[in-house]
Amino acid sequence: MSFFSPGFSGRRRQTDVELPPGQYLTHDFPVLSAGPTPRIDLDAWQFSVVTELGERSSWSWSDLMAMPAEEITKDIHCVTGWSKLGTQWKGVPVEAFLEDVESAADYVTAHSYGGYSTNLPLEDVLDGQAWIAYAFDGEPLTPEHGGPARLFVPHLYFWKSAKWVRALQFTPEDDPGFWESAGYHNYGDPWREQRYQGD
């Protein structure tokens, strides 16, 4: 039984571009998901930030669309080995959602529609390092690639950029998410090849 969605097209010819160790260049955008693809109606979509004390702030889709967005061009690297360079996104910086949030936590867990989760240090979603992205290559983000909105954290392996994001929950401990609980690295830096626990 495969965990991956159809659309993964395999290894592409390597170029002279500098890539993280163990990566190869692709011009496709492979689709890999650990389960079925959620389809979320925009009228029902909601994104929340939840503190370690349970305090919740939430935004609707219209709230998200009214927030100042950024155009982002970044390389992305999947733990399965592919890298895609110069990808173009649009989204709202994560710190914009945290302006009125008080927390003493050092970590966040991203939760997705469909039950997926992944953990990150709080410092890795601040200072222009992470966005709630809703457009790719000038078009609305498709469900297969995490639409209507996904967490986008391009400096880490792409499993940390949780598709179909619905919440960021502050946590005092670095609690493993879905893939981390299955043996993947807790942090996931592609340049240090942190694919699995112990790397």
**DSSP state string for the chain:** ---SPTT--------SS---TT-EE-SS-----SSPPP---TTT-EEEEE-TT--EEEEEHHHHHHS--EEEEEEEE-TTSEEEEEEEEEEEEGGGGSTT-----SEEEEEETTS-EEEEEGGGGSTTS-EEEEEETTEEPPGGGTTT-EEE-TTS-GGGS-TTEEEEEEESS----HHHHTTB-SS--GGGT--BTT-
Q: What pTM did the predictor assign? A: 0.90
CATH class of the domain whose range is 24-29+42-184: alpha beta
Q: Mean pLDDT score of the chain, rounded to an integer?
A: 92
Say what percent of the chain tops pLDDT 70.
92
**Is 9 or 113 the better-scoring residue by pLDDT?**
113
Show me where the domains of the chain are located: 24-29+42-184
Model confidence over 78-127: pLDDT tens digits?
999 999 999 999 999 999 999 999 999 999 999 999 999 999 999 999 99
Q: Which of 11-25, 97-111, 157-171 has the lowest mean pLDDT?
A: 11-25
